[in-house]
């Protein structure tokens, strides 16, 4: 409850106070008047007025104490509320949200960067501790870790970031001092915690990153500290590692992402966002589903960052299945509209793509005709007879096939005759150049003519302005996609379906 609200709540008492003060004043005035009229001695009039003034003073004091009391209780309630929101109930550490906010503040602004260090601490074998000694002991261990860290890093802030993962913000980047303190923390934990007469030794892994040396914003600093922490765990736990640039280019980074991505599927951290594909009149034709990873530490991660890593193993098949299942579940929200999904070239190297799609359609009761499968131009140019057979099989099931990012690879026009495709998506680089680059204009117009002859649809990708929309339309594109219409958004935030001609887009072009 806010201070103002508390005072409002107590305004009844204040109002009653003022009312009594008024009554007393009126009473005193009346008495004075009566006494004057009866011509009593001025002495007794004086006594009456002293009495009235004292009563008024008493009333005022009552009001003052009432207001002071209200303010005090409001301040207590405010502090309790703040504590509840900012502190983790079990350990007393800052909550994740407030910790990240505090971290942002500690790093300063672009103009005024401040030195800081971030420690990420993970309690080793926490699950085993819980299983062996019980959850109560597990809880006490976490609280013990926080208390010890708060004592050792007295000028810092300790936050709980996840189950057994904690962070410490240190307001300087003196690595020698930090290392000394971290070792003290490692030793303190090794000394253990008592349980039923025994001392159970504890172990932690720590990752350290410095700002601004290693990163200057919250997201990146968390990422690099996380890499250092992973390094500590991989090297056998119970140790501290300071971030090193090499960790970024390392294959260990890929392994970390792979490991986390596998877990992300089960933890529900993946999301499919939708971006509309519109007709020339501005009405919605369908949507492209674009995968996103809502990482608990790094925030929303773009597919450009994790798809290439997933493509190095069969993890891409797992993601591909997740995407198609999600699209099947969501299509009911977009009646009469299609959903395009991106299928990686790696998926097309295995028969699994056809059997998976067929199986998911049967499981969900959806029809393949509601979906478009987007493959990239590079896949098409390197297509083996097996890949072409799989594409034909997918078409046989009823899917439409679209050639994505056309113009970025080496796909000549003659490829278009042989590929089993229904749609070509022209890469954004051409759409952006339409206004000033004649080569782009000729390329798009020629492609549109060929497409018309072969009954293939042309989608202009990455339309960002009204001018680009008008030019792409004039060049013969039949469908359009880009920020000008809408950015990709979660299913429930997708703008209502546009309808033909009612939209100003249609009039403007
Ligand atoms: P894409 O299939 O060519 O998707 C279009 C990309 O362009 C999307 O990026 C989209 O957000 C972005 N975009 C749309 N309109 C505009 C615009 O007007 N301006 C600009 N600058 N960009 C625009 P996103 O979502 O980051 O995806 C990047 C790529 O990741 C996709 O390119 C696709 O190749 C791949 N991808 C996305 N989702 C999946 C998936 O589920 N599976 C696979 N295998 N790949 C995926
Ligand atoms: Mg695409
Ligand atoms: Mg594309």
Query: pLDDT per residue over 390-410, tens digit each?
Result: 999 999 999 999 999 998 876
User: 380 pLDDT band (50/70/90 cuts)?
Assistant: confident
Between 391 and 76, name the one with better pLDDT.
Answer: 391
Long-range (24+ apart) CB contacts under 8 A made by 100-104 are 100/159, 100/218, 100/222, 102/157, 102/159, 102/169, 103/167, 103/169, 103/218, 103/221, 103/222, 104/217, 104/218
Q: Is ligand 1 within 6 A of the CB of residue 148?
A: no
| pLDDT of 122 higher than 50 | yes
Q: Which residue has the higher pLDDT, 473 or 18?
A: 473
Shortest-distance atom of ligand 1 to CA 481: 15
Given the structure tokens 């991505």, which residue do they identify?
A: 261
Contacts for 186-191 with beta carbons within 8 Å, 24 or more apart? 186/238, 186/239, 186/240, 188/148, 188/152, 189/145, 189/148, 190/238
Q: Which two tokens stand for residue 177?
A: 């001092």
Using the atom order of ligand 1, give the atom closest to the CA of residue 290: 38
> What pLDDT score was predicted for residue 506?
43
Q: Check pLDDT > 70 for residue 495.
A: yes
Per the prediction, the chain carries an average pLDDT of: 87
CATH of domain 96-243: 3.30.70.270
pLDDT at residue 179 greater than cutoff 90:
yes
Most trustworthy range by pLDDT among 5-14, 48-57, 116-125 = 116-125
From the CA of 404, give the closest atom in ligand 1: 3
The ligand that comes nearest to the alpha carbon of residue 426 is 3
Taking the C-alpha atoms of residue 191 and residue 100, their distance in angstroms, rounded to an integer, is 30
Does 323 contact ligand 1 (Cβ within 6 A)? yes
Residue 80 confidence (pLDDT) above 60: yes
Q: What is the pLDDT of residue 503?
A: 47
For ligand 1, mutation pick of 265, 273, 303 (most atoms within 8 Å of CB): 303
pLDDT at 509 over 80: no
What's the length of the chain?
509
Q: Give whichever of 232-241, 355-364, 380-389 has the largest mean pLDDT.
A: 355-364
Q: Kindly indicate the confidence band of residue 3, based on its pLDDT and cuts at 50, 70 and 90.
A: very low
Residue 40 — very low, low, confident or very high, per pLDDT cuts 50/70/90? low
Between 178 and 504, whose confidence is greater?
178
Do the first three CATH levels of 96-243 and 252-508 match, i.e. the same topology? no
Ligand 1 site, residue 286, Cβ cutoff 6 A? no
Kindly state the tokens that stand for 142.
């976490």
Q: Is the peptide bond before 212 cis (omega within 30 degrees of 0)?
A: yes
User: Does position 508 have pLDDT exceeding 60, yes or no?
Assistant: no
Q: Does any ligand 1 atom lie closer than 6 A to the CB of residue 290? A: yes
8 or 51, which is more confident? 51
Distance CA 14, CA 3 (A): 15
Domain ranges for the chain, please list them.
3-86, 96-243, 252-508
Among the ranges given (219-233, 249-263, 383-397), the one the predictor scored with the smallest mean pLDDT: 249-263
Q: Following DSSP, what letter does each residue of 6-53 receive, concatenated? A: HHHHTHHHHHHHHHHHHHHHHHHHHHHHHHHHTT--HHHHHHHHHHHH
DSSP 294: E
Over residues 287-307, mean pLDDT: 90
pLDDT attached to residue 354: 97
At residue 2, the pLDDT reads 47
Q: What is the mean pLDDT of residues 446-459?
A: 92
Is the Cβ–Cβ distance between 377 and 345 less than 8 Å? Answer: no
Convert the pLDDT of each residue in 469-483 to its tens digit: 999 999 999 999 999
Q: Find the 289 Cα to ligand 1 centroid distance in Å.
A: 9
Q: What is the average pLDDT across 97-109?
A: 92
- What are the tokens at 317? 């098949």
The stretch 167-173 carries a mean pLDDT of: 97
Query: Is residue 134 helix, strand or coil?
Result: coil
- Region 281-306 average pLDDT: 91
The bound ligand whose nearest atom lies closest to the alpha carbon of 275 is 1
Residues ≥6 apart with Cβ < 8 Å to 58:
none
Superfamily of domain 252-508 in the CATH hierarchy: EAL domain (3.20.20.450)
Q: What pLDDT does 22 receive?
A: 61
The response to whether residue 346 sits with its C-beta less than 6 Å from ligand 1 reads: no
Q: Whose CA is nearest to atom 41 of ligand 1?
A: 291
> Measuring CA to CA, which residue among 343, 351, 197, 338 is closest to residue 279?
338
């Amino acid at each position: 409850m806010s201070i103002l609200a508390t005072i409002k709540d107590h305004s009844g008492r204040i109002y009653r106070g003022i009312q009594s003060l008024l009554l007393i004043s009126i009473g005193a005035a009346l008495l004075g008047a009566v006494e004057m009229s009866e011509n009593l001695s001025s002495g007794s009039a004086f006594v009456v007025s002293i009495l009235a003034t004292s009563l008024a003073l008493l009333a005022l004091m009552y009001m003052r104490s009432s207001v002071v009391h209200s303010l005090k209780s409001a301040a207590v309630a405010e502090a309790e509320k703040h504590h509840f929101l900012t502190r983790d109930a079990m350990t007393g550490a800052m909550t994740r949200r407030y910790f990240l906010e505090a971290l942002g503040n500690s790093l300063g602004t672009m103009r005024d960067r401040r030195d800081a260090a971030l420690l990420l601490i993970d309690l080793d074998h926490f699950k085993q501790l819980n299983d062996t000694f019980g959850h109560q002991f597990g809880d006490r261990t976490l609280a013990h870790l926080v208390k010890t860290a708060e004592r050792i890093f007295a000028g810092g802030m300790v936050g709980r970031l996840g189950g057994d993962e904690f962070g410490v913000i240190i307001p300087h980047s003196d690595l020698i001092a930090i290392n000394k303190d971290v070792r003290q923390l490692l030793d303190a934990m090794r000394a253990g915690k008592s349980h039923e007469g025994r001392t159970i030794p504890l172990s932690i892994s720590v990752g350290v990153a410095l700002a601004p040396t290693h990163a200057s914003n919250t997201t990146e600093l968390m990422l690099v500290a996380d890499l250092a922490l992973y390094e500590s765990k991989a090297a056998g736990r119970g140790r501290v590692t300071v971030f090193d640039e090499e960790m970024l280019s390392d294959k260990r980074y890929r392994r970390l992402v792979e490991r986390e991505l596998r877990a992300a599927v089960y933890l529900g951290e993946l999301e499919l966002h939708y971006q509309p594909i519109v007709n020339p009149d501005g009405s919605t034709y369908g949507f492209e589903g674009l995968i996103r990873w809502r990482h608990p530490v790094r925030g929303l991660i773009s597919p450009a960052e994790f798809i290439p890593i997933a493509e190095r193993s069969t993890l891409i098949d797992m993601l591909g299945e997740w995407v198609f299942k999600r699209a099947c579940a969501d299509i009911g929200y977009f009646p009469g509209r299609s959903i395009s999904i991106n299928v990686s070239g790696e998926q097309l190297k295995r028969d699994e793509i056809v059997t998976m799609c067929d199986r998911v359609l049967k499981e969900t009761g959806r029809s393949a005709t509601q979906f478009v499968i987007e493959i990239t131009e590079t896949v098409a140019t390197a297509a083996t007879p097996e890949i072409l057979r799989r594409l034909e099989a997918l078409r046989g099931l009823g899917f439409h096939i679209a050639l994505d990012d056309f113009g970025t690879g080496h796909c000549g026009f003659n490829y278009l005759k042989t590929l089993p495709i229904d749609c070509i998506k022209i890469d954004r680089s051409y759409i952006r150049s339409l206004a000033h680059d004649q080569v782009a204009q000729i390329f798009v117009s020629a492609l549109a003519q060929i497409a018309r002859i072969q009954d293939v649809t042309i989608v202009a990708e990455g339309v960002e302005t009204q001018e680009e929309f008008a030019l792409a339309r004039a060049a013969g594109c039949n469908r359009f996609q880009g920020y000008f219409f809408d950015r990709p958004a979660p299913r429930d935030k997708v703008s209502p379906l546009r309808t033909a001609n009612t939209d100003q887009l249609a009039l403007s072009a």
